[in-house]
């Protein structure tokens, strides 16, 4: 990955946002931004598979970003996490959201919240490469990809 300005840095500069101490963010705030980061990663992957109808794109991506899939991804990446990353995950998993899981078990929902908090933390600390590394490993090794997906077969 070419070095330069990060997406976050570009956004902060464009909107004159000051850097904040990452320790001031609640785990649910980290999960909020992490949800968007992971969604962007997955949508980029899915669009990269080819030019298909938007409803197909949505079907592919929603399968990967749902709570059960994120929980499965976390199980794969857990042994690879640093102590700091594992702590961020635990803080997210143990947070008490005001919303309930719609189509997931409480366990999967909490695990997904922890995973999203980790993605948010990595993004906000300019560690997008690490977020991509963990996402790639988790997605390719967890079995969440549909059988017809070409992802991972071409080096993605």
Which tokens go with 79?
Answer: 């042994």
pLDDT (average), residues 75-88: 98
35 has catalytic annotation: yes
DSSP state letter for 80: G
Report the percentage of the chain scoring pLDDT > 70.
91
pLDDT-derived band of residue 25, with 50, 70 and 90 as boundaries? very high
- Asked if pLDDT for residue 155 goes beyond 80, the answer is no
pTM, rounded to two decimals? 0.90
Topology of the domain comprising 25-142 = Ribonuclease iii, N-terminal Endonuclease Domain; Chain A (1.10.1520)
Closest of 96, 41, 105, 39 to residue 71, by C-alpha: 105
pLDDT at 149: 60
Q: Catalytic pick from 21, 35, 87, 108?
A: 35
pLDDT (average), residues 18-34: 95
pLDDT (average), residues 69-92: 98
Give CA–CA dist 156/148, Å, rounded: 15
Cβ–Cβ under 8 Å, residues 104 and 112: yes
Summarize pLDDT for 4-17 with one digit per residue, the tens: 788 899 999 999 99
Q: For 95, what's the count of Cα atoms within 13 Å in the CB-facing half-sphere?
A: 27
pLDDT at 154: 46
Give CA–CA dist 119/108, Å, rounded: 16
Residue 46 phi, psi (nearest 5): -65, -45
In the numeric block, the tokens 């997931």 are attached to 104
Give CA–CA dist 145/156, Å, rounded: 13
């Amino acid at each position: 990955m070419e070095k330069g300005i990060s997406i976050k840095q570009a956004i902060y500069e464009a909107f004159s946002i000051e850097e904040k101490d990452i320790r001031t963010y609640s785990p649910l705030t980290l999960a909020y931004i992490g949800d968007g980061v992971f969604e962007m990663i997955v949508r980029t992957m899915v669009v990269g598979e080819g030019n298909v109808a938007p409803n197909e794109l949505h079907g592919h991506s929603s399968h990967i970003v749902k709570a059960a899939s994120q929980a499965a991804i976390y199980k794969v990446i857990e042994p690879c996490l640093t102590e700091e990353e594992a702590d961020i995950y635990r803080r997210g998993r143990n947070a008490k959201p005001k919303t309930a899981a719609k189509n997931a078990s409480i366990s999967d929902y909490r695990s997904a919240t922890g995973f999203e908090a980790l993605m948010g933390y990595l993004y906000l600390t300019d560690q997008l490469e690490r977020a991509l590394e963990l996402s790639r490993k988790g997605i390719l090794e967890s079995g969440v990809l549909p059988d017809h997906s070409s992802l991972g077969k071409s080096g993605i």
